């Protein structure tokens, strides 16, 4: 099992070493603003790519939370497309295995079909050289990737694009639980829609099933049945990133918890 954690971007390789992790995920810049990506690693992108390859550490980049290419609001959608391309290019420059992005949403009064088509347009407008991994989300009545039927419609829209094979899925266990999806069948259901699971965000959930709350918890400290949570991660059979609270010690404990149940 390949398991790592979300870490600070300043020295992700030191963070990986502290956790004895073969992969890490991080932001390239502030996840809450529209400024372009920032690579803080000493030596820049080329050094990070070379050092990661030498250390045998796989890098994943998470796009800013504010990216929402589905929205009908031009003042958000157009800057989001630009930001998505910028972070994709920065992720590619460090040799990242993928760029993770949330599915976004449309306004409450909007027809969701507009959001699905905006995803198609976004994929057509983005030059993808590394996988773009769309993540399921926990909340929002008009979210694009909270419920399975919405994920299916996003995938239907994307499937008509020339770059469809460059788009994958990141399955977040906390989001699936809090979003109201049955964890007993979530892996089978997602695979039936997408044909792939590229990455797992392994997280327990602070809140109840179908709460819509995106609040992660350490393994065994939340409201997801432990056996069910471990079963989802095993069945997905993909690299795992823990976005659980704490630093290296807490993450190491989460890794051990999961390995005991592997």
**Pairing state of beta strands 199-202 and 167-172?**
parallel
Tens of pLDDT, residues 56-87 = 999 999 999 999 999 999 999 999 999 999 99
Q: Tokens standing for 147?
A: 């419920």
At residue 15, the 3 state secondary structure works out as helix
pLDDT at 140 over 90: no
Domains of the chain in sequence order? 3-260 (3.20.20.150)
**Pairing state of beta strands 199-202 and 240-242?**
parallel
Helices (H), 60-183: 74-93, 112-125, 148-158, 173-178
> CA-CA distance, 175 to 105, in Å (whole number)?
15
Q: Tokens standing for 153?
A: 């419609």
Model confidence at 155, pLDDT cuts 50, 70, 90, reads very high
CB atoms < 10 A from the CB of 254, how many? Answer: 25
pLDDT at 28 over 90: yes
Residues of the chain with pLDDT > 70, as a percent, come to 100
Helices (H), the chain: 12-19, 44-55, 74-93, 112-125, 148-158, 173-178, 186-194, 226-236, 248-260
Q: Tokens standing for 99?
A: 């760029």
**Beta partners for 100?**
62, 133
CB 229 within 8 A of CB 216: no
């Amino acid at each position: 099992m390949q398991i790592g954690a979300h870490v600070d971007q300043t020295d992700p390789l030191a963070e990986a070493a502290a956790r004895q992790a073969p992969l890490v995920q991080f932001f390239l810049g502030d996840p809450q603003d529209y400024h372009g990506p920032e690579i803080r690693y000493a030596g820049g992108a080329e050094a990070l790519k070379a050092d990661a390859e030498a250390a045998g550490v796989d890098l994943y980049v998470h796009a800013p939370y504010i990216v929402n290419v589905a929205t009908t609001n031009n003042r958000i959608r157009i800057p989001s497309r630009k930001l998505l391309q910028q972070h994709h290019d920065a992720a590619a420059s460090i040799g990242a295995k993928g760029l993770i992005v949330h599915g976004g949403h449309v306004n409450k009064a909007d027809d969701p079909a507009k959001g699905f088509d905006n995803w198609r347009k976004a994929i057509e407008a983005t030059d993808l050289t590394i996988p773009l991994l769309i993540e399921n989300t926990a909340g929002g009545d008009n979210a694009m990737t909270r419920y399975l039927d919405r994920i299916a419609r996003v995938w239907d829209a994307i499937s008509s694009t020339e770059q469809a094979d460059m788009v994958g899925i990141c399955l977040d266990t906390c989001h699936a639980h809090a979003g109201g999806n049955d964890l007993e069948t979530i892996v089978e259901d997602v695979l039936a829609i997408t044909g792939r699971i590229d990455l797992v965000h392994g997280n327990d959930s602070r809140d109840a099933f179908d709460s819509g709350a995106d609040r992660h918890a350490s393994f065994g400290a939340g409201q997801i049945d432990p056996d069910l949570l471990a079963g989802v991660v095993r069945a997905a059979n993909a690299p795992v990133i823990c976005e659980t609270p704490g630093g290296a010690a807490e993450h190491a404990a989460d890794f051990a918890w999961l390995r005991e149940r592997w």
